[in-house]
Structure 1
Amino acid sequence: MSNVLAFDYGASGGRAFLGVFDGKIISIEEVHRFPNEPVTIGKTIHWDIQKLRYELLTGIKKSLDYCSYGNNRGTRDRQINSLGIDSWGVDFGLLDKHGKLLDNPVHYRDTRTEGMMEQAALIVPKTELYNTTGIAFQKFNTIFQLLAMKTSQDPAYKQAHTLLFIPDLLAYFLTGNKACEYTIASTSMMCDVATREWAGTMLSRLGLDTKMLPSIIKPGTIAGALTSQVAQELGTREIPFVAVAEHDTGSAVAAVPFPSGLAGASCAYLSSGTWSLFGVETDKPVVTEKSLAANYTNEGGVGGKYRLLKNIMGLWILQECKRTWDAMGSIKDFETLAAEAKNATPFYSIIDPDNELFYRPGNMPENINEYLQRTGQRICPDNAHVVRIILESLALKYRMVTQELEDILGKTIRQIQIMGGGSQNRLLNQFTANATGKRVCAGPVEAAVLGNMAVQLLAMRETGSLDQIREIIGKSFPAEEFLPTGKREWDDAYGRFAELLRRNV
C-alpha cells in the first residue's frame, strides 16, 4: 500500500490530497484547502508566493498528522512515500545568483504584456514562433512576460540567474534543486516542440537571456527529496519529491480514463475550471496552417504525448459574477446558482466567453450587460439569466472548438470527457452534450490531483503504465453520462452564436 501526497495549485485556490493505492483502487482524502488571492502592489498584480509556500508546508504537516492518526480508514502509522506539485502555467519566479527570490511572481492577468506579441512578431514572424514552439498565441505566455521585463529594463530581470515556474519554485523551496519540468515549461512558448528542449536560437534572436533557464526534466522524474532542514522543521524523513506533470492540465489529462477504442483523437477532453482547456491527446505535435489559424496549442503530456488544445475563458466568468454578488450580499453557492439558471429563459442572449471584456477581474455582471448592449441584445433581467447565458455560451463555444478540432485532425470526435471542478456543474455538462451533439462523460472531479498521483505511482514503480493507472482511476471514480437532447433549439442558437463571432464585436 502506498501513500502519495498531491498538491494542486489553482488560480483561485489550492488543495492537498493524500492518496492511498492498494494495488487495485485509489482512494483520496483532502487534508488541506486554502485560497490563492493575488496581491496588487502599485499597478502590478502579484502572486503571494510566500503564503503559497506556507500553505505547502502546512499541507505536508496535516498529511503527516493524518498518516499518524488517520480517520479509521487504514492509513494510520503509514509514511508518505512521495509528493508532487502541479499548478497553472506560464507564471514564474526569478532567483539571483545566491538562490534568493528577487520578487513575488507577477500574475498572468497583469497588463505588462500589452503589445509584446506584436513586438516579438517584428523580430521573429508569428508563423516561425508557432512552427518552432507549437504553442498558441496568448498575451500572457512566459515569452511575452520576459520580453516585457527586458523592454522595461526591470531590475529583477537584470539580476536574474535562474527562472523557475510556479511548481518548480515551490519544489525548490522544499528540495533546494533547480529544474523545470517539461509540461509546465511547454506552456511558456519557449520550448522547441520537436526536441522538447529550450528553443535557444529563437529566444536569443528576441534578446532574451537563455542562461537563466535550467535543465528540463521529464514528468515522472524523482527530482530530489525534502532537504534535511525542511524535513527537520516538519518532523519527518526526507520524503522523495516527484516532478509530476506539473502543469495542472497535464496532470488532469494524465487521469482521463479514455474508453477502450476511443483514446486519442476520437475522445476529446475538457478540463473544466477557471479556464476551459478543450483538446485531444496526440502522439505527435500538430503544427499546421489550420492549427495556427485557429490558435491551437501543443503542450507537453505524460509518456511522450502532446496535448493539442484550445484555451477558453471558462468558469472564470461565473466565478467573478459570484464574487461580485457575494460582495453585494447575495451569497449563493454554485449549485444554487445553476438550479436557478435552469428555470431562466433559454437562449435569452449570448456572449463570446473569450471577449476581452471578460478577461480582467472586475464587476463581471456589468461587463456582461455592456457586451449585450454593444451587440444589440437584451440585457439580463436577473442573476439567473446571467448564469444561464454564461453556461449556454460556454457550451456553444465548446461546439465551435469541437468542429475546429475535427477539421484540423480530419477525424470525428465521438465523446467528450469533462474533468475537473467544473464537471460538478451538471447543467453545463448537459448543455455541452446538447450543443455538441456528443456523448459526454463527466469525471473525475479531482482529475489534476489524480493525474498528479498517477505520475508519482509510475515514478515509484507502483504501477506499470499510464494506461494501467488510467484504467484504475476509471474504476475508482466512475463517470456520469450525459446524452444530447434538443437538437433543433441548439442548432438555431449556434447559428446566432457563430454570426455573433463573425461580427467580431
Structure 2
Amino acid sequence: MFEFLAVDLGATSGRVAIGRVGSDSISLDVVHRFLHEVLPQEDGSLLWDWDLILTEVLTGLKEAIKTSDPISLAVDSWAVDYGFISPTHQYLPPVHAYRDPRNEIAYQELSKKIGKERIYSTTGIQFLPFNTIYQLYAARNLPEYTKAAKFLMLPDLVNFLFTQKLSTEVTNASSTQALNTRTREWDRELIKLAGIRDDLFTELHEPGTLIGVVSGFDELDGINVVATASHDTAAAIAGVPFGNRLTEAYISSGTWSLVGVELDAPVLTPEAFAANVTNELGADGTVRALKNVTGMWILEECRRTWHLEGRDYEMPELLTLASAAKAFTTLIDPNDPLFAPPGGMLQRIRAYCVERGLTPPQTDGEYAICILNSLAHAYKKTLAEISAVTGRTIEVIHILGGGSQNDLLNQLTADICGMTVKTGPVEATLFGNIAVQAISAGVVANLTQARALIAKSFTSKVFQPA
C-alpha cells in the first residue's frame, strides 16, 4: 500500500485527505474539513481569508501525518485567483476573490484594448471577467502589484510556502487566459499587449513534477511536494473513469458546473470562439474543452437567505420540497450576471422573472425546482454547443463532485438532455490529485491505469432518460 496526501481547496471549503493506492483500488481517508468564505471590505472589494486557509491546511496535514507515511503531498484549488511574492520571498497580502467587482471593469477595458479574437486565438479560454489576466490588469495600481517579484496561483502559493520554489503548474496557469494552449507556455506577446508586467510570470511545470521537499514545518519536513493537476477541475477530470471518452462528457458539479469533454488538442476555431468554449489544460497532455455554468451557487445562496429567515434546510429536505413542486415550470438563465454576486438571491430570481413576464416562484420548493430545472436545461444547451464545436457525439454524461449526490438533479439532467447519466466519484478531485502523485512516484503506470483503479474504488449510480 502506497500513501499520498492531498489538499483540495474549494471556493467555500477545503479538505485534507490520505490516499492509499493498492493493487486493485484507491482508498481515501478525509482527515480534516474546514469552511471559509470571502471577507467583504469597506471599499467594496472581496478578499479571501488566506491566513485561515493556510492554518487549516497545516492543521489537516499534521493530522494526516499521524496515521500515514506519505510518499508525497500535492495541492489543488479553485482557479484564477493568485497571490504576490516579494523580491525577498515573502507573501504579499491580500488575496483578492474572483467575485471582486473590480474585475468587470478590467475585463471590459482589456477586451476592448486587445480584442477578443486576439485573446482567444492563442489562449482558447472562455471569456469570464474574473480570469487572472483581468485581475492582474485591475491590480496594476495596488501597492502589492508594484512591490511584487512574482505572482503564483493558489496551489503554487502553498507549494512556495513549503519549498520556497517559484513555479506555476500549467493546468491552473491555463485558467489565467494568458497561456498559449498549443505550446503550453506563457503567451508573452499577449501579456505585453495587456500592459501587465511580464516579469511577474514564473517558469511553468507540468502535473507530476517534483517541486521540492517540505522544510521548516517540523513533522512535515522532508515530505516531497509534487504538482498534481492543480486546477481542481483538472484534478477532478483526471479522476473520471471514462469508458469511452470519445462519446462521453463530464459535469463537475459544485458551486460551479464545469461541462465538457476531454480532448488531445485545443479547439481554437471561429465556432469555438463564437460559442465561448474554453480549452483548459489537463493531466497527461490533455485538454478540457468545457464551459462554466453557474452551478449550486444559486441554490446555496437561497439556502443562506432562508437560514437568515429562520428556515434551515438540509439538502434532502429541500429536494423533497422541490420534487413536490415539479409542476412549477418557470426557468431562469443560471449564467445571467444578475446571479453572480452574493446576497439577495431570492430577490434576484424574482426580479429576473418579473422583468421577463415570467411567473416568479412563491414557495421555497418552487425556488428549488426552478433552479434545478434551469441547471438541467443549461447543461443541455452547453453540451449541444460543445458537441457542435468538437464534432463529438455525446451519449453518456459523468456527473462528479458533490453535486453527483443530488439524485433529483441527476434525473432531471438525464431526462432533459436525453442521455445516460453516471454519477461519481463524489471525491473525483481527491482521486485525481492522488492519481497524478501515484503516476509521478511510479506506483501507477499512466492515467489510463489510474482511472481503472478509480473505477473499482466507488459505486456509481446510473440514471436513464425517462
Query: Same fold judged by TM-score > 0.5?
Result: yes
State the Cα deviation string for residues 45-81 of structure 1 (Å, max 9, x = none): 001111111011100111022x1xxxxxxxxxx4122
CA distance in 1, matches of 2:104, 2:20: 45
Match of 2:188 in 1: 200
Task: Decide whether the 8 Å contact of 1:23 with 1:462 is kept in 2.
Answer: no
Match of 2:239 in 1: 255
2:368 equivalent to 1:387: yes
Taking the aligned partners of 2:343 and 2:132, their CA distance within structure 1 comes to: 24
Secondary structure, counterpart of 1:139 in structure 2 = coil
Helix, strand or coil at the partner of 1:137: coil
Q: Is the 8 A contact 1:167 1:246 kept in 2?
A: yes
Rounded to whole Å, the distance in 2 between the matches of 1:286 and 1:125 is 19
Whole-angstrom distance in 2 between the partners of 1:8 and 1:122? 36
Q: Give the conservation status (yes or no) of the 8 Å contact 1:347–1:392.
A: no
C-alpha deviation, 1:282, in angstroms: 0.3
8 A contact 2:132–2:176 mirrored in 1? yes
Aligned to 1:115: 105
Matched, 1:218 2:199: no
The answer to whether residue 48 in structure 2 is matched with residue 47 in structure 1 is: yes
Alignment of 1:262-277 (within 5 A): 262-264=244-246, 266-277=247-258
Q: 1:47·1:104 contact (CA, 8 Å) conserved in 2?
A: yes
Shift of 1:478: 2.6
Question: Does the 8 Å contact 1:10/1:36 carry over to 2?
Answer: no
Give the superposition deviation at 1:356. 1.2
State the SS of the aligned residue for 1:114.
helix
Give the whole-Å Cα distance in 1 for the aligned partners of 2:354 and 2:111: 34
How many angstroms apart in 2 are the aligned matches of 1:23 and 1:239?
Answer: 23
**Whole-angstrom CA distance in 2 between matches of 1:412 and 1:236:** 47
CA shift for structure 1 position 411: 2.8
Task: Name the aligned partner's letter for residue 479 of structure 1.
Answer: S
Give the secondary-structure state (helix, strand or coil) at the position aligned to 2:15: strand
Give the counterpart letter for 2:47 in structure 1.
H
TM-score, normalised relative to structure 2: 0.98
Q: Which amino acid aligns with 2:37?
A: E
- Out of 204-213 and 430-439, give the one that drifted further: 204-213
- Is residue 91 from structure 1 mapped to residue 81 from structure 2 by the alignment? yes
3-state secondary structure, aligned to 1:476: coil
Q: Report sequence identity in percent.
A: 39
- Residues 435-474 of structure 1 mapped to structure 2, 5 A cutoff: 435-474=416-455
Q: Secondary structure at the match of 2:162?
A: helix
Which position in structure 1 is the counterpart of 2:329?
348
Deviation at 1:97, TM superposition (A): 0.7
- Amino acid in structure 1 at the alignment position of 2:87: K
Q: Quick check: 2:261–2:288 contact (8 Å CA) kept in 1?
A: yes
2:379 is aligned, of 398, 422, 433, to: 398
* TM-aligned CA deviation for residue 353 of structure 1: 0.4
Structure 1 residue matching 2:397: 3-state secondary structure: strand
Partner of 1:136, secondary structure, is coil
1:61 is matched with 62
* Runs (5+) with no aligned partner, structure 1: 68-77, 486-505
CA contact (8 A) 1:222 1:243 kept: yes
> Of 170, 177, 180, which aligns to 2:168?
180
Answer whether contact 2:213 2:221 (CA < 8 A) is retained: no
Q: Are 1:299 and 1:306, in contact at CA under 8 Å, matched by a contact in 2? A: yes
Contact 2:170 2:205 in 1 (8 A): yes
Could you tell me whether the CA contact under 8 Å between 1:372 and 1:378 is conserved in 2? yes
- Runs of 5+ in structure 2 lacking a partner? none
- Asked if 1 retains the 8 angstrom alpha-carbon contact of 2:170 and 2:207, the reply is yes
Matched, 1:5 2:5: yes
- Secondary structure of 2:24 counterpart: coil
SS state of the match for residue 115, structure 1? helix
Equivalent position of 1:37 in the other structure = 37
Distance 2:105 2:54 in 1: 32
Per-residue deviation at 1:433? 0.2
Give the SS at the match of 1:385: helix
1:418 corresponds to:
399
Match of 2:83, SS state, is: strand
Native 8 Å contact 2:328 2:366 kept in 1: no
2:156 aligns to what?
Answer: 168
Pair 124,279 (structure 1): closer, same or farther in 2 beyond 3 Å: same
Counterpart of 2:179 in structure 1 is 191
Cα distance in 1 between the residues matched to 2:95 and 2:416: 39
Contact 1:450 / 1:473 at 8 angstroms: preserved in 2? Answer: yes
Whether contact under 8 Å (1:53, 1:173) holds in the other structure is no
CA distance in 2, matches of 1:429, 1:295: 25
Q: Which amino acid aligns with 1:16?
A: V
Displacement after TM superposition at 1:100 (Å): 1.6
Aligned mates of 2:160, 2:177 — CA distance in 1: 22
3-state SS of paired residue (2:299): helix
Offset of residue 149 of structure 1 = 1.5
Alignment-mate amino acid for residue 175 of structure 1: T
Deviations 1:353-386 (CA, angstroms, capped at 9, x unpaired):
0111110000211111111111111121210110
Cα-to-partner distance string for 1:97-154 (whole Å, 9 max, x where unaligned): 111222211000001112323322333221110011111110001000111122xx21
Query: AA paired with 2:273?
Result: L
Question: CA RMSD, aligned part only?
Answer: 1.1
Q: Say whether residues 1:301 and 2:291 are aligned partners.
A: no
Contact 1:3 1:19 in 2 (8 A): yes
Is the partner of 2:199 in helix, strand or coil?
A: coil
Query: Matched residue of 2:360: which SS?
Result: coil
Aligned-residue offset at 1:405: 1.4
Q: Which residue is 1:127 aligned to?
A: 117
1:246 aligns with 2:234: no
Structure 1 position 346, deviation (Å): 3.0
- Sort the Cα spacing of 1:117 and 1:291 in 2 relative to 1 into closer, same or farther, 3 A: same
Query: 2: CA distance between counterparts of 1:407 and 1:41?
Result: 43
Tell me the residue number matched to 1:24: 24
Q: What do residues 193-251 of structure 1 show as CA deviations (whole Å, max 9, x unaligned)?
A: 11111101111122111111111100111111111x11x2xx24411111100000000
TM-score w.r.t. length of structure 1:
0.91
| 8 Å CA contact 1:419, 1:444 repeated in 2 | yes
- 468-477 or 95-104: which moved more? 95-104
Once the two structures are TM-superposed, the CA of residue 347 in structure 1 deviates from its matched residue by: 4.2
- The runs of at least 4 consecutive aligned structure 1 residues that moved more than 6 Å come to none
Hey, what's the Cα distance between the residues in 2 that align with 1:305 and 1:160? 32
Rounded Cα–Cα distance in structure 2 between residues aligned with 1:280 and 1:236: 37
